[in-house]
Structure 1
Amino acid sequence: MKLPAVLKHRPIVVSENYERVDGRFARNTDAKGLSLGLAQCSDRGKAAISAKVWRSAGENWSKQSEELPLHQVLDLSILICRSLAHFREAYRYEYFYDPQEPVLDRIGLQGGAMTVAIYMGNGRINEDMKLFNQALSADDEMIGERLRPLSQILKDMGY
């Protein structure tokens, strides 16, 4: 299924076969493609780049398709990686975190810091942490399969 080029998000770099590689949802997903392109919120004469997940359950493109600015995609990647690092050592705690120190990290960005923390506002955090850990364990191979090429690409780029 070809991604549309007539909508406000204008694809530039695409993965049109994403439904074949969408993790555990592969071949049974409404996520049909990924793209980097010109953002729908770009002002005339000013370009902003965004990433988009294109969703379609049939003939029409879904309003559930998501568009994110690239820095937010990268911030989510940072959050994912920092969380994965935490859960590698989380077995040391009864509930996979230290309730006395829920802040996992503060990562400097643009003169401030992005705080990565366990959300103590979740009334079922202890139970949910166990479920989250189980889900990470179940998806470990699939996540690693994506982190390895990402790591190599970042190294090749000098990061």
Structure 2
Amino acid sequence: MKIPTTLKHKPVVVVENYEKVDGRLARNTDTQGLSLGLAQWNDRGKVDISAKVWRYTGEKWSRQSEELPLHRVLDLSILICRSLAHFQEAYRYEHLYDPQQPVIDRVALQGDAMTVAVCTDNERIHEDMKLFSQALNDDGELIGERLRTLSKILEDMGY
């Protein structure tokens, strides 16, 4: 299905077959495409690039489609990687984290640091940590394939 080009987000680079590769949801998803393009919130004279996840209900493009600035997409990638690294060693803790030290990492970004931490305000955090860990384990092959691909691309780019 073709991503619309008449809406406020203006696609420049697209993945129009995302429904075929959407992880465990492949071939059974409402996410039909991904795009990088000119953000819908652009003001006159100011241009931002955004990433967009395009969802289709079967009848129309969904209002649940999401658009994010590129730096947020990368910040989410950093969060994912730090979380994966934590869960590789989490078995050492009774509750898969140290309740006395819930901060996983502080990632330096632009003069400050993004604090990655276990959400201790979640009243069911012990149970949810186990469920999260199991889901990461179940999706290990899917996540690992994407991380290896990303690592290769970053290496090829000189990062």
> Per the shorter chain, which TM-score range?
over 0.9
Q: Distance in 1 between matches of 2:72 and 2:136?
A: 22
1:92-136 CA-to-partner distances (Å, cap 9, x unmatched) read: 111110001000000010101000000010000001000000000
Q: Distance in 2 between matches of 1:123 and 1:14?
A: 40
1:59: how far off?
Answer: 2.7
Name the residue aligned to 1:75.
75
Secondary structure of 2:51's aligned partner: strand
Aligned pairs for 1:52-91 within 5 A: 52-91=52-91
The one-letter code matched in structure 2 to 1:99 is: P
Q: Distance in 1 between matches of 2:126 and 2:33?
A: 36
Name the residue aligned to 1:157.
157
Aligned pairs for 1:24-35 within 5 A: 24-35=24-35
Question: Structure 1 residue 112 and structure 2 residue 112: aligned?
Answer: yes
Name the residue aligned to 2:103.
103
TM-score by length of 1: 0.99
Q: CA RMSD in A?
A: 0.5
1:149: how far off?
Answer: 0.7
TM-score by length of 2: 0.99
The percent identity for this pair of structures is 74
Q: Distance in 1 between matches of 2:44 and 2:150?
A: 33
The one-letter code matched in structure 1 to 2:19 is: E
List structure 1 runs of 4+ shifted beyond 2 angstroms.
Answer: none
1:45: how far off?
Answer: 1.9
Secondary structure of 2:77's aligned partner: helix
Instruction: List alignment gaps of at least 5 residues for structure 1.
Output: none
